Structure 1
């Protein structure tokens, strides 16, 4: 039987994992078997740069943390080598990085994941992995908001370049007058 101090350490780890699962918006469980140290270091660096917390965990401890966090549906995939990647703010970062990494490394497998406290299927994880980064999405939204304003500004600049509103009306009237006379000449 393990000593009391070992049990206390394990309880603390389970409590920490449980809080991490509860407080994160998304998480991905992977099997990291067969990756070398150099690749693992690169992966961890990329995850860190995207504010994703990545740790290797024991299956039994993660299983108990899943029970406490209400993510029991993750338990069936907890076998073999297991690592957990969680993000407190970015929904797609962990899935995007880990699914991309899994494409390039045969032994590295995405097992499961969760989103807003609910376990999701692999199709959802793959869909998340295909989303662009938060900055790209914000740039697209800003571009969509800015497009009508920019088009209006271009029209107004064209009016100014033509000599003002009255000059534009005169020019349009002059262009329309020959067109009206042409059918009468036939």
Structure 2
């Protein structure tokens, strides 16, 4: 439901539009419950996330509910912070997991990656993945494996032919 449909005040409309702009430009968004976090640890988390291309904002559940799909309302219980960005979600998930392990806060509720809903367990699983560059190297190795194996087999066949011809030459030389 868009804010203009309910006759909201202009500042609420502006706030809703700002949230929409943040969400529309993001590849991922992770929702977390920041209840109990003090300001120094919040700033520490924000700085860690910023280094990895993510942003951290506290939002009102009602305003965020307007921007998210209807099935996301279950995530909007308690105090909510959204962590979003357009970089590598795996690196951001690792930062969140490391910070949560050390400070026990924030509690991950779930989120969205490229428009698909993910659970809190999925965020933890994302943190276990290797970095994007390592995954690219693994994919490249997998794609190159059949070609390199074919080259090895062909090289072996040529080497076998050379050995046979060399043995035949040595035999002819001994006979002569």
User: How does the TM-score come out when normalised to structure 2?
Assistant: 0.69
Aligned equivalent of 1:105: 103
Aligned equivalent of 1:54: 56
> Contact 1:28 / 1:94 at 8 angstroms: preserved in 2?
no
Residues paired across the two proteins, number: 161
> Contact 2:65 / 2:73 at 8 angstroms: preserved in 1?
yes
Aligned equivalent of 2:76: 78
Over 4 Å off, 4+ runs: 142-153, 166-171
Relative distance call for 1:34 and 1:125 in structure 2 (3 A) is same
Aligned equivalent of 1:25: 27
- CA distance in structure 1 between the aligned counterparts of 2:119 and 2:93, rounded to whole angstroms: 12
> Contact 2:33 / 2:78 at 8 angstroms: preserved in 1?
yes
- CA distance in structure 2 between the aligned counterparts of 1:41 and 1:150, rounded to whole angstroms: 50
- CA distance in structure 2 between the aligned counterparts of 1:76 and 1:99, rounded to whole angstroms: 22
Whether 2:13 is the aligned partner of 1:11: answer: yes
> Contact 1:59 / 1:82 at 8 angstroms: preserved in 2?
yes
For structure 2, the 5+ residue unaligned runs are 1-7, 152-160, 172-176
Aligned-pair RMSD on alpha carbons? Answer: 3.4
The Cα of 1:65 is off from its aligned counterpart by 2.0
The Cα of 1:55 is off from its aligned counterpart by 0.8
1:95 maps to which of 88, 93, 96:
93
Aligned equivalent of 1:115: 113
Whether 2:129 is the aligned partner of 1:127: answer: no
SS at match of 1:79: coil
> Contact 2:99 / 2:105 at 8 angstroms: preserved in 1?
no
- CA distance in structure 2 between the aligned counterparts of 1:97 and 1:9, rounded to whole angstroms: 33
Aligned equivalent of 1:34: 36
- CA distance in structure 2 between the aligned counterparts of 1:168 and 1:152, rounded to whole angstroms: 20
2:66 maps to which of 43, 51, 64:
64
> Contact 1:87 / 1:94 at 8 angstroms: preserved in 2?
no
The Cα of 1:78 is off from its aligned counterpart by 1.6
